[in-house]
Amino acid sequence: MEVEPVNESGGGTAPVSLWSRIAELLKPLAMERFKIIDVADPKDTIEGIKRDVEFRGFNLWILVFSIFICSIGLNMNSTAVVIGAMLISPLMGPIMGIGLGIGVQDASIVRSSLSNLAVAVGISILASALYFFVSPIHEASSELFARTRPTFLDVMVALFGGLAGILAGSRKEKSNVVPGVAIATALMPPLCTAGYGLANGEWSFLLGGFYLFLINTMLIATSTALVIRYLRFPIVHLVDTVTERKYKRWFTVLLLALVIPSTYIFYSTVTTSIEDARIQDFVEDRVNYPGMELVSQNVDRDGEVSRLNLVLIGEFVPDPTVVQWREDFARLIPGVAFKVVQNSRDDAGLAELERMVDLYAQGREDLSGKDREITELRAEVRALEEVSARTERNALPAGLAEEIFVQYPEVEAVEWGYIDDARRDSTGLYFGSGAPYVAVSWCSDADSLSRANQSATLQAFLRVRLVAPALVVKAGY
C-alpha cells in the first residue's frame, strides 16, 4: 500500500510506502527503548573486570572448593549441587578479561587474563581428577554424559550468556545477572568432566568436556569484545588497519574451528533423534503378529551401517512376513539395516534368542522373588502392628497406677487387661471382642465393708478416667 504525499514545490508527487512511514514513527521509540551506550560505565566496568582477572589468595581457594562441590554434584547426579557450584565459581573473571583486552586493544590485559585462566583451568582439572580418583563411585552419571558432546545449541547459549554478562557488568547500576550467566554458560561442569576423564582414563570425557569449556570461553570472550567495541570504551593502543585485519582473520578462523565441529555434532544428534523416533513408530505400527512378543529392541550404530535388532519370542513369524517388514522398513528408513532374531535354525540366531530368553526368565524370577519378599515383609509389619495395638490396648495410661495408689492407700497391687469371652447359642459359637477389667488387691487389715465401698468408688472413677463404661473392677486376685 502506498500514499501520495503532495510535493510542496508543485513538481509532482513521490510514492512513499506505508511501512516506511510506520518505521519512521517507531524508530525514535525503538532507539529510546534499546539504547545502552548512555547508561554504560566504562571506567568502573574496566576496573571491575581487571579486579576479577587475578587468581590468587581467596579467589584460588574459592575455585578449588567450587570444583570439589561441582565434582560431588556430578558424581551424585545432583543438578542442584552443580548449580550451587557454578554460582560460587570465579571463572568468569579472566574470560571476560580476555574479551576486554581484545575490545580495548590492550595486550597486557589479554596476556594477564590468559595466564590466570590457564592456572585456573589446570588447578580445576587436577582438583576434579583427584576427587574422581579417590571417589568410590566410578560410573558416569547422566550429568557427566551431558557434557561430552557439545552442540551448536551450547554455542548459542555461550554467545547470548556472554552478551548478557557484559551488558549487566557495564551498567552504571549493577544487577545480579552475572550469577545467572555463570549458571547458563556452565563453565565449571565441563572442567570437572575433563577431570573425570583424566582420573578414569576416559579420553572421550576429557576431550568432550574440555572442548565444551573452550567453546564457552571463546564465545563469552567474543561477546565481551563485541559489546566493549559497541559501547565505545576507550582504546588503549591504536593498531594500524592492516594489522587489525590480520588479527580479525585469525580470530575468525579460530572461532570457526571451534564452532563447526559443534554444528556437525548438533546435526548428527538431531538426525539420530529423528531416526530413532521413526524407528519406534515403525516398530509400534508394523511389527506385530498373533502370539508373538517383542522382548528386545535396539539400534546398533557402532558399525559402518546402523542396524535395528529385534528379538522375538512366542509364535514363529513366517519368513514372508519378516521379508515384508524388512522391505517396508528399507523404504521408510533407508540406510538402516533390519535384523530379526526368533525361533530359527540359524545357530547364531538361536544363541541370541536363548540368551535373551534366559535374561527374560531371570528377570521374571527376580521380580517374583521381590514380590515374595514384599509379601513376607508386609505380613511381618501387620503382625508387629497387631502386637503394638494389643500392647497399647492392654496398657494403662501413664501414671494411672500411681493415681490409684495415692487415692486408695488400702490397695496393695493392681492388675489390668481385657477379658475375651466365648458363648454358645443356637447359631453356633460366638466370640466376644473382650471387656476391660481392673483387678485390685487390698491390704489384709482392710475390712470387707471398706473394700466393697472403695471398690465401687474405684470402679466409678476408672470408668470416667478410662472412658470405658463397661469396665469391671475385681477385688482380689
* Distance of alpha carbon 236 from alpha carbon 243, whole angstroms: 16
For 294-364, CATH gives: 3.30.70
Q: Which three cell numbers stand for residue 289?
A: 503378529
Burial of 386 (0-12, 13-18, 19+ CB in 10 A): exposed
Is the pLDDT at 96 greater than 90, yes or no? Answer: no
The torsion defined by the Cα of 190, 192, 194 and 200, in degrees rounded to 10, comes to -150
Query: Which one has a higher pLDDT value, 462 or 4?
Result: 462
Q: Of the segments 40-49, 169-178, 276-285, 352-361, which one has the largest average pLDDT value?
A: 276-285
Residue 1: predicted pLDDT: 44
Task: For CATH 1.20.1080, list the domain ranges present in the chain.
Answer: 42-271
- Exposure of 315 in the CB half-sphere (CA atoms within 13 A): 8
Q: What pLDDT band is residue 183 in, cutting at 50, 70 and 90?
A: low
Task: For CATH 3.30.70, list the domain ranges present in the chain.
Answer: 294-364
Residue 292 sits at φ, ψ, to 5 deg, of -95, 145
pTM (predicted TM-score): 0.57
**Going by C-beta distance under 8 Å and a sequence separation of 6 or more, which residues neighbour residue 475?**
439, 440, 442, 451, 452, 455
Q: Which three cell numbers stand for residue 61?
A: 581457594
Strand ranges in 370-427 using DSSP code E only, listed in sequence order: 411-419, 422-425
**Residue range 76-86, pLDDT digits in tens:** 888 888 888 88
* Distance of alpha carbon 252 from alpha carbon 71, whole angstroms: 33
Query: Which one has a higher pLDDT value, 112 or 370?
Result: 112
Residue 475: predicted pLDDT: 67
**Residue range 267-304, pLDDT digits in tens:** 887 888 888 888 888 888 888 888 888 877 888 877 77
Q: Considering the chain, what is the average pLDDT of its residues?
A: 76
**Residue range 22-73, pLDDT digits in tens:** 766 666 655 566 666 666 677 888 888 888 888 888 888 888 898 999 888 8
Q: What pLDDT band is residue 3 in, cutting at 50, 70 and 90?
A: very low
Is the pLDDT at 308 greater than 50, yes or no? Answer: yes
**Residue range 110-127, pLDDT digits in tens:** 889 999 999 999 999 999
Residue 364: predicted pLDDT: 63
Residue 463: predicted pLDDT: 78
**Residue range 253-269, pLDDT digits in tens:** 888 888 888 888 778 87
Percent of the chain topping pLDDT 70: 74
Q: Of the segments 3-7, 22-26, 406-410, which one has the largest average pLDDT value?
A: 406-410
Query: Which CA distances in Å does 189 have to 50, 61, 113, 220?
Result: 24, 17, 21, 16
For 42-271, CATH gives: 1.20.1080
Is the pLDDT at 154 greater than 60, yes or no? Answer: yes
Residue 126: predicted pLDDT: 93
Is 129 strand, coil or helix? helix
